[in-house]
Amino acid sequence: MLVVRAIEDQPEKGIKKGQKFRLYIVDAHHHMGREKGHTNTPPGAYEFYALLWFEMQRMAKDLKENDALLFEPVDVVPSTLPSKCFSSRKSWARLNHGWLVDRTIVFPFTDDYLGEGKGASFKVSNDKIAGWTTRAPHSTRLIGFARVDPKDSLRSKNAAVRELTRAVTKLGLRGLKLHPVAQLFVEEIEDEMTLRIVRKAGELKVPIIFDTRNVRTAQRIHAMVETMRNEPKYAKAMKGLKVILAHCGMSPGDPHFHELLRDPVIYGETSTLHDQDVPILFRTASDMLTNAGFHWSEKLLFGTDYSFLSVQAADVILHLLSRDFLGSLSDIQRILGGNALSLVGTPFRTKRMAHENPRMLTCTQKKKSARSVLETSLIARIAEGVLDLASLDYMLPPKTTWPDLRPMSAGGDNGIYFDSYFMTLRTRDNAREFIVWVKSHPNDMISCIILNDYKKATMLSTELAQQKKHPILSTDLTSNSQLFSTPNEFTSAIESMLR
């Protein structure tokens, strides 16, 4: 997390000079794998973020001297649980750095493994992404997206759709990257072969990030969405469809681009934008995205496009901290991370899950924090290799009402519920997978739901307010609930279920 300090009093926002705030940052566009001169793996990502922080501090110094900043970046701190996981094993501990960015959405390059093996393009690449993103300790920081080539359908009609389904339901990848230029389908964006894939992504409720280099491509993507909206056979897909236009169509000030963002399912991502592009993007968005049924800052996501691009991402962060940016800290938090997490939207799960009834365990935390006893014990099992951690997903506020940030002197809340989360765990033999859903309650109670039913897991949302909408879950739970009075009993009961 990036710690920023208010440079002066901002009475209209209730902010005092010197107050510090924590911003949770998600990079929504990041490549891993190998493509010609580019190679990147998790350690490369963390090193890049350390470099980005170094560069940002240098740039911030100049900006501060010119009185351009409203908040100055002063520190980088990890969130507790991921950092605990990294420091639990010696070979992981040296990677416990680069915490300017807390979470990274990772997908393949148009890489050297592209055509390897039989079947769909990107199969090997998607396997590699899953290998990097769904195991401890990287699973606490990385979110994997798949990539497919719509043109595979020229060889085998449903090859790309099948690969997407496999990547999401078997590997646990949680979104899709499509690249019309690299896979040569710019002219076919509105064609059946692309629609089939987009439809499947919508049905699987995973977001799609499309590379866009100009407004024309972005408009084609929007036209495709409109086609789907108007045809009944796409009704199910439309319910889950979320489309991110990478690089904001490289048209940050073009009203035609911002017109597309008014569509309820379309979003923009900031990588490649730098210098004057950056203030123009945010100014145009806040001018044009009004009276549209959402707040303008819900529509933009921070991304780096590492390793194609590097430290220019600092321009975006520093602009958000500058006097020129007209939004609030809550707008900044949405753009830097909240929106990306909301779009991913569901806890990690795969079809490894059996169909057992969910169980709920609760415990009082009056004397001792049951949450920290449970975390310490689970992290120890992960470090030993008894369990593997496939993902850690914090609960979130509704994106429509992301709260104002609180200064660190008052707890440093930035909207992310660090005490309520989903941990997806796997047994050592990879045969069983569980969601451990930890929720802290205001009355010093903690609840933990153990779930290993894929269908029920797909109904879960990381949005805390959505939880009431899971009736199947709650009927099961009333009959499968146990109350514990000590953290140790609570923890060992949970452990005994994770086998």
> What is the nearest approach in angstroms of Zn ion to the Cβ of residue 110?
9
> What is the nearest approach in angstroms of Zn ion to the Cβ of residue 344?
18
Is 371:446 a contact under the CB 8 Å cutoff? Answer: yes
By CB under 5 A, what part of segment 283-342 binds Zn ion?
Answer: 305
- Contacts of residue 30, defined as CB under 8 A and 6 or more positions apart, other chains included, come to 40, 45, 104, 105, 106, 107, 303, 304, 305, 306
> What is the nearest approach in angstroms of Zn ion to the Cβ of residue 31?
6
Is 80:419 a contact under the CB 8 Å cutoff? Answer: no
Nearest by Cα to 323 from 62, 23, 72, 20: 72
- Measured from the CB atom, the residue of 271 and 350 that comes closer to Zn ion is 271
Sheet holding 243-246, edge to edge: 146-147, 176-178, 208-211, 243-246, 266-269, 300-301
Between the alpha carbon of residue 171 and those of residues 143, 191, 350, the distances in Å are 12, 28, 7
DSSP single-letter state for residue 118: S
Q: Is the peptide bond before 153 cis (omega within 30 degrees of 0)?
A: no
What is the CB neighbour count within 10 angstroms for residue 306? 26
Tokens read off for 292: 């549209």
- Measured from the CB atom, the residue of 268 and 347 that comes closer to Zn ion is 268
> What is the nearest approach in angstroms of Zn ion to the Cβ of residue 226?
25
> What is the nearest approach in angstroms of Zn ion to the Cβ of residue 349?
27
Query: How far is 155 from 158, CA to CA, in rounded Å?
Result: 9
> What is the nearest approach in angstroms of Zn ion to the Cβ of residue 306?
9
Is 447:441 a contact under the CB 8 Å cutoff? Answer: yes
The answer to whether residue 269 forms part of the interface with Zn ion (CB under 5 A) is no
Q: How many CA atoms lie within 13 A of 293 on its CB side?
A: 5
> What is the nearest approach in angstroms of Zn ion to the Cβ of residue 114?
15
- Of all residues in this chain, which one has the CB nearest to Zn ion in the complex? 305
- Measured from the CB atom, the residue of 59 and 182 that comes closer to Zn ion is 182
> What is the nearest approach in angstroms of Zn ion to the Cβ of residue 420?
32
- Measured from the CB atom, the residue of 40 and 284 that comes closer to Zn ion is 40
- Measured from the CB atom, the residue of 151 and 213 that comes closer to Zn ion is 213
- Measured from the CB atom, the residue of 76 and 143 that comes closer to Zn ion is 143
> What is the nearest approach in angstroms of Zn ion to the Cβ of residue 186?
16
- Measured from the CB atom, the residue of 305 and 433 that comes closer to Zn ion is 305
- Measured from the CB atom, the residue of 145 and 394 that comes closer to Zn ion is 145
> What is the nearest approach in angstroms of Zn ion to the Cβ of residue 180?
12
- Measured from the CB atom, the residue of 44 and 264 that comes closer to Zn ion is 44
Nearest by Cα to 379 from 135, 82, 28, 61: 82
What is the CB neighbour count within 10 angstroms for residue 2? 25
The three-class DSSP label of residue 48 is: helix
Helix (H) or strand (E) holding 260: helix 255-261
| Neighbour-count burial for 94-120, b at 16+ CB within 10 Å, e otherwise | ebbbbbbbbbbbbbbbbbebbeeeeeb
- Measured from the CB atom, the residue of 35 and 152 that comes closer to Zn ion is 35
Tokens read off for 483: 């109350």
If binding means CB under 5 A, how many residues of this protein chain bind Zn ion?
1
Between the alpha carbon of residue 97 and those of residues 101, 383, 401, 408, the distances in Å are 10, 18, 31, 21
Tell me the one-letter amino acid at 216: R
- Measured from the CB atom, the residue of 73 and 252 that comes closer to Zn ion is 252
> What is the nearest approach in angstroms of Zn ion to the Cβ of residue 449?
37
Site residues (CB under 5 A) for Zn ion? Answer: 305
